[in-house]
């Protein structure tokens, strides 16, 4: 296959899950990207529209098995495989091929921490050493030249975007941070499980993974870097009846001299030029419905009635800024394209 | 304000409702359109993001009253006002200004029929005489040169797209057509009413406007034109707990010699080149979730167990193909632009 | 185990599905019933609250395998097993034990019809010959003395309650009946399937099993009995984002001389004394939300705009009147208890 | 009207809102209660089923205006009127009549606090002095003989049931308590507001009333009593797309020597005999869907990863234990009936 002009030639591995679907949706409007291969082991041989009929209008190759992909004819791989599997697959890719991994496999720089939380030794520690954590607004300079980018988790994106700059700016203490997060159901993936059936989920909410969710060490890694010392957080995720969206309500202690107002200003300063991070006006409350389908992160700051404390509210679409949108943003950064390319679509509300 | 290059200068009247929000969302990606004015009587003086915070990222003029708009500096008005009001407002606009009206005010060619269903005499019968019914795929040739386009209702769009070509092709009889339609709640507008509260709507479904919904005469007008004789239909709309989408399940009698297969072929022939109408594969069932946020109409055909009958299934997003998307499609047709401009965004699923 | 006074000693086979949960919920308030055994193969050995935590407040035996049940110490078995399996299990039960079967296994009197729709020969044709169809309001006299009651399907209950009396009374024709039904997701059971995940179902609607759903022959059996000749119907079910409820919108032809008004009167006459069937006032539209959790069936009648036709609307809770509630009603009839016992709970709205 | 045997003769003032509907639903199964009057100013003269069609099966008096009620023939009034209004209405009732008020009007013992949060002076301070706070499990002894019971708010019930005993038992510190609460939409009432429409609420979540919700002082009043010193809390409520249910995720500091285990034991000891408060097993996560329609409160305790801290999870149905169910429980206590009377209905799931 001849390369079409200046298009980035792309494969999406594990394309039958929600993050795969979102990558295709976003890339369909990307003038510099071309999806050359889509893999899904169980669905190999079928058209992509068989797993995602809403995208039947996009011209795409059929689904194949990973071993059928001609990786030599590609520039970039988006890897949407389950954790564990990913390490081995990525280890087997040509060294010249750039990789954006949407799994958790390369997010934790410390392979011991990985082993402790995931229950097995890391299978590609050398690759891990070269992986760059892809929280675009924070790690942009390291992402641009990277070969392997570990795209952040959805909860860690939501939590770190407000917290990292405030810790770095000395506006809040890194102690006793409580992150109460509410997620839509796509965050739990597309695998069929009884507890994810419509009738089990509708009209209810519950916490899960309390004090043992694997996104906790990822958040702590980012906050520890910002604080330059080990940070432990409370991270309590909840599942609720919506498809997309995460709202993190974060309860923090103010540094001496800081206030909700100074926090808001510090965030405005930090994110003033960012196209996707928006500090909402004082008194406004970030709502997940206002970012649906978009790459935006909305952040609000409120004074707490408890003296010396503040409340941060952070909202994203977990499948876009929390996964595939940030992955495309990282691709744009890696290939020297404007970061907003293919991400200009506005949120869909209602 | 000087005209910016070749942009169509646009005002949206009644911009604080859902169709106004959708026009802004879609036009934000339109390279040849510029929103110059947005009106909303109750919200005049406020930024547009005060009524639609999800669109805070779009550069827009503040909301004003209609009388504050400089209509002389515009090329096109989208009118999203309540029915009745619309006739008077449109009657007062400069004759050179082109108008796409999303209300019901100019859809019924026969002003007597209008009076019978809306309870008052038509207030602009002369304008009505020149209005073109904006069902793009059916009326394209008349839309292009029109000054005033009456954008179709959401239910009539869903029902006519499959029915009109089949009646014209002599594939189905125009007698005893039963249209059972299921709509999301945005179809009922944004005005606050008890029966539209989340808790009243969630987890339930009911029929409404049975045998007296005002979209019935609009559907009958289109089918009568196709049949070249007066047609009466059963149209039974239902409200259900989703925000967007209409599914029409249509029960029809086959013409002698016709079959589900011949109906499918007739539709494929008719819509083969259309970018937005898609006949789904045999056995597939059109789902509203697969068109959400997009301008697509999906149509499926099934044989009925009742001999001599067939079942048509038609799905659209009521706010896009059923309102603002079709309005932008009509604008493109009126201004000689590719019809798909700004409508390339793929459906958002889940 | 000694029998506690005059309590009916009950086992529920296949208790981990939604109909099992509902039986327990309803029987918990029954003064004459005692649940002695609950089976669930995969969950044997676990407390019932492990599969239905909402019922942790009810004193119940742990889940066991079917072979662990002492059927000799029981009076009644509710059978909530998958179809096919059921025939063999019921065939193996002591002849003195009465059975209410909630599966489809004994609903079709004609075993040939069963074989044609279910793809295998009936495995207990002798039992089938003695089974009574448990549509309480229609078959009450035969249910009371029955040994084996085949509890009706959810859709057939919704459709037959309005249709059977109207056909019997000669008010409507049995030709060209179109039944457009909308069901909540519990109707699809509790087994984990991708297409039933919250994110796949929320915010959408689609038809399924078009012209081939297995409830069609069950409906036709009932209507054929009423018409005293073979009847074929259009039955088109849809799945929508709610947990409970079925609304059937039924399009019928009037018999000569009949009208919407005469239909309403015929239904009022037929159901005047029934505690669970309610003909709603003229102009009111039966809503599934108004029967949620209750054994009620609401029926409305509207004149059609198509001359000589009418519209019937019928709403039930698929898990109560469409399954477990009707099963308890049948139990009451079989054991000479007031039919409303344990079914007095009012609908839960919102 | 002659008193029927030993029935409590009841009026419900402001019966057209959700709490009124729930009172009628619950009392319909109460053997010792008789609803004699129902008021709703806007709907006076209409049957109750006109505002709540789901309760058409309950025999009830028509809706009337308050001034039409013969209060001399009653034993008890449930007052479901808006705050402010309530004080004047209750002040005008016969002194012999007992009152359970579901508004916020008599919950705050300190009328200065009331004035500060509600923006006007209390209009019945003498009555306030005699009002008893109706958190049944905590104030039972004072409720039984009370003339005027102030039924607690939904959020305060959810938060206080776990917190009050733990503070009293010295298991947790009263400092820095963070209460992140998620509520269904019925908590916002039945008045029509744009932000409560289905399409505005579905598929989203946001915080509201951050640091200024009027339930904060009510919670603080209860915790201050328990701590015997003034307590200030963080209370951050969120609205989400479900109709019923509140989940409070509460982040607390352990007292020296305490642990998640000791907290769980303290709660088990405190609530061991309570029919409606259930401490879930270790590792289980209380879900609102498991209490829907019931008077239960589920409480879970988890160790936090932050040293010296714990997480409490508390779930109720806001309309039952958080309003009308607790009101009936209080009625039972006031009239020396078993507290569970009419509250034995199990949760409705799904």
Give the active site residues of C. 154
Kindly list the distances between the CA atom of residue C148 and the CA atoms of A145, C8, C101, C121, in Å, as whole numbers in the listed order: 73, 16, 7, 20
DSSP state of D255: P
Nearest CA to D200 among D250, D240, D253? D240
Inter-axis angle of helices A154-168 and A136-143, to 10 degrees? 90
Are C285 and B235 in contact (CB < 8 Å)?
A: no
Q: Which residue of D has its CA nearest to C295?
A: D57
Rounded Cα–Cα distance for residues C144 and C147 (Å): 9
Rounded Cα–Cα distance for residues C166 and C143 (Å): 22
Are D198 and B190 in contact (CB < 8 Å)?
A: no
Are C202 and A242 in contact (CB < 8 Å)?
A: yes
Q: What's the maximum distance between 2 C-alpha atoms anywhere in chain B? A: 65
Rounded Cα–Cα distance for residues D38 and D49 (Å): 12
Are A289 and D249 in contact (CB < 8 Å)?
A: no
What's the pLDDT at B2?
42
Residue D205 to chain A, least CA–CA distance (Å): 6
* Cβ proximity of D210 and D273 under 8 Å: no
Residue C11 to chain A, least CA–CA distance (Å): 24
Q: What tokens were used for A132?
A: 């760059």
Sheet with D234-239: list strands edge to edge: D206-207, D234-239, D178-183, D246-253, D309-316, D297-303, D277-279
Rounded Cα–Cα distance for residues D291 and D280 (Å): 12
Residue C158 to chain D, least CA–CA distance (Å): 17
Rounded Cα–Cα distance for residues D253 and C167 (Å): 69
Q: Using only the alpha carbons of chain C, give its radius of gyration.
A: 20
The residue behind tokens 């009510």 is: D218
* pLDDT over 80 (residue A2): no
% of chain D with per-residue pLDDT over 70? 99
Nearest-by-Cβ selection for A346 from B28, B186, B296: B28
* Cβ proximity of D323 and D22 under 8 Å: yes
Nearest CA to A301 among D248, B58, D241, D236? D236
Neighboring chain A residues of D199 at a CB cutoff of 8 Å: 350
Inter-axis angle of helices C136-143 and C325-334, to 10 degrees? 30
Nearest CA to B233 among C306, C250, C259? C306
Task: For chains B and C, count residue pairs whose Cβ atoms are closer than 8 Å.
Answer: 167
B297 is catalytic: no
ipTM surpasses 0.90: yes
What's the pLDDT at D188?
95
Give chain B's end-to-end CA distance (angstroms, integer): 42
Please name the residue ranges forming H helices in chain B.
Answer: 18-27, 48-51, 85-91, 111-118, 125-130, 136-143, 154-168, 198-201, 215-227, 260-271, 325-334
**pLDDT (average), residues A158-180:** 98
Q: How confident is the model at residue A259 (pLDDT cuts 50, 70, 90)?
A: very high
What's the pLDDT at A5?
64
* Cβ proximity of C155 and C248 under 8 Å: yes
pLDDT in tens, chain C (350 residues): 344 568 999 999 999 999 999 999 999 999 999 999 999 999 999 999 999 999 999 999 999 999 999 999 999 999 999 988 899 999 999 999 999 999 999 999 999 999 999 999 999 999 999 999 999 999 999 999 999 999 999 999 999 999 999 999 999 999 999 999 999 999 999 999 999 999 999 999 999 999 999 999 999 999 999 999 999 999 999 999 999 999 999 999 999 999 999 999 999 999 999 999 999 999 999 999 999 999 999 999 999 999 999 999 999 999 999 999 999 999 999 999 999 999 999 999 99
Neighboring chain D residues of B201 at a CB cutoff of 8 Å: 198
Q: Which residue of D has its CA nearest to A202?
A: D242
Give chain A's end-to-end CA distance (angstroms, integer): 42
Q: Is A174 exposed, middle or buried (0-12, 13-18, 19+ CB in 10 A)?
A: buried
Residues paired with B254 in a beta bridge: B172
Rounded Cα–Cα distance for residues B156 and C42 (Å): 50
Neighboring chain A residues of D302 at a CB cutoff of 8 Å: 210-211
Residue D92: asked if its preceding bond is cis (omega within 30°), the reply is: no
Report the phi/psi class of residue B111: left, alpha or beta, with left for phi > 0 and alpha for psi in -120 to 50. Answer: alpha
In tens, the pLDDT along D126-145 reads 999 999 999 999 999 999 99
* Cβ proximity of D292 and C292 under 8 Å: no
Strands (E), chain B: 8-13, 33-39, 63-64, 76-79, 98-101, 132-133, 148-150, 178-183, 206-207, 234-239, 246-253, 277-279, 297-303, 309-316
Are A198 and C243 in contact (CB < 8 Å)?
A: yes
What's the pLDDT at B6?
82
Q: What's the maximum distance between 2 C-alpha atoms anywhere in chain C? A: 65
Nearest-by-Cβ selection for B205 from C178, C240, C309: C240
Residue B333: asked if its preceding bond is cis (omega within 30°), the reply is: no
Inter-axis angle of helices C154-168 and C136-143, to 10 degrees? 90
* Cβ proximity of D257 and D301 under 8 Å: no
Q: Which residue of D has its CA nearest to B17?
A: D194
In tens, the pLDDT along A86-108 reads 999 999 999 999 999 999 999 99
DSSP state of B336: T
Residues paired with A77 in a beta bridge: A11, A99
Are C345 and D202 in contact (CB < 8 Å)?
A: no
Neighboring chain D residues of A286 at a CB cutoff of 8 Å: 206
Rounded Cα–Cα distance for residues B98 and B83 (Å): 19
SS3 label, residue B126: helix
Are C198 and A196 in contact (CB < 8 Å)?
A: yes
Nearest-by-Cβ selection for A243 from D203, D235, D240: D203
* pLDDT over 70 (residue D277): yes
Residues paired with C42 in a beta bridge: none
Domains of chain C: 4-152+322-334 (3.40.50.720), 155-317 (3.30.360.10)
Q: Using only the alpha carbons of chain A, give its radius of gyration.
A: 20
**pTM metric for this prediction:** 0.97
Interface of chain B toward chain A, CB-CB under 8 angstroms:
18, 21, 25, 28-29, 52-58, 186, 202-203, 243-244, 278, 280, 284, 287, 289-294, 296, 344-350
Residue C219 to chain B, least CA–CA distance (Å): 13
What's the pLDDT at B83?
85
Q: What tokens were used for B172?
A: 């189905």
What's the pLDDT at C248?
98
Q: What tokens were used for D305?
A: 């990863």
Rounded Cα–Cα distance for residues A79 and A147 (Å): 13
Nearest CA to A66 among A108, A27, A37? A37
Number of CB atoms found within 10 A of residue A91's CB: 11
Are C25 and D348 in contact (CB < 8 Å)?
A: yes
Rounded Cα–Cα distance for residues B279 and B263 (Å): 11
pLDDT in tens, chain B (350 residues): 344 568 999 999 999 999 999 999 999 999 999 999 999 999 999 999 999 999 999 999 999 999 999 999 999 999 999 988 899 999 999 999 999 999 999 999 999 999 999 999 999 999 999 999 999 999 999 999 999 999 999 999 999 999 999 999 999 999 999 999 999 999 999 999 999 999 999 999 999 999 999 999 999 999 999 999 999 999 999 999 999 999 999 999 999 999 999 999 999 999 999 999 999 999 999 999 999 999 999 999 999 999 999 999 999 999 999 999 999 999 999 999 999 999 999 999 99
* pLDDT over 60 (residue D4): no
What mean pLDDT is reported for chain D?
A: 96
Q: List all chains that touch chain C, counting a touch as 3 or more CB pairs closer than 8 Å.
A: A, B, D
Q: What tokens were used for B258?
A: 């016709």
Are C52 and D349 in contact (CB < 8 Å)?
A: yes
């Amino acid at each position: 296959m001849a390369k079409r002009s200046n298009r980035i030639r792309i494969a999406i591995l594990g394309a039958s899950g929600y993050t795969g679907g979102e990558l295709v949706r976003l890339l369909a409007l990307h003038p510099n990207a071309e999806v050359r291969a889509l893999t899904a082991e169980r669905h190999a041989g079928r058209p992509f529209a068989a797993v995602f009929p809403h995208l039947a209008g996009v011209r795409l190759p059929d689904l194949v098995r990973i071993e059928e992909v001609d990786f030599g004819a590609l520039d970039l791989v988006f890897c949407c495989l389950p954790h564990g599997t990913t390490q081995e697959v990525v280890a087997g890719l040509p060294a010249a091929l750039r990789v954006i991994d949407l799994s958790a496999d390369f997010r934790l720089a410390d392979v011991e921490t990985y082993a402790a939380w995931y229950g097995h030794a890391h299978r590609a520690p050398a690759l891990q050493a070269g992986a760059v954590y892809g929280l675009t607004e924070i790690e942009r300079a390291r992402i641009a030249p990277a070969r392997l980018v570990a795209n952040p988790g959805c909860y860690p994106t939501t939590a770190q975007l407000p917290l990292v700059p405030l810790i770095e700016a000395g506006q809040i203490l890194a102690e006793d941070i409580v992150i109460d997060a509410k997620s839509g159901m796509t965050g739990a993936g597309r695998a069929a499980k009884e507890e994810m059936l419509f009738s089990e989920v509708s009209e209810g909410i519950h916490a899960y993974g309390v004090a043992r969710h694997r996104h906790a060490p990822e958040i702590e890694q980012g906050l520890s870097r910002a604080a330059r010392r080990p940070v432990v957080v409370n991270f309590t995720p909840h599942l609720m009846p919506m498809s997309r969206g995460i709202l993190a309500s974060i309860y923090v202690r103010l540094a001496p001299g800081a206030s909700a107002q100074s926090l808001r200003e510090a965030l405005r300063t930090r994110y003033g030029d960012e196209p996707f991070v928006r500090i909402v006006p004082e008194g406004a409350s970030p709502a997940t419905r206002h970012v649906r389908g978009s790459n935006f992160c909305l952040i609000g700051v409120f004074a707490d009635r408890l003296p010396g404390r503040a409340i941060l509210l952070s909202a994203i679409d977990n499948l876009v800024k929390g996964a595939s949108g940030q992955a495309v943003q990282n691709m744009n950064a890696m290939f020297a394209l404007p970061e907003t390319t293919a991400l200009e679509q506005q949120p869909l509300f209602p």
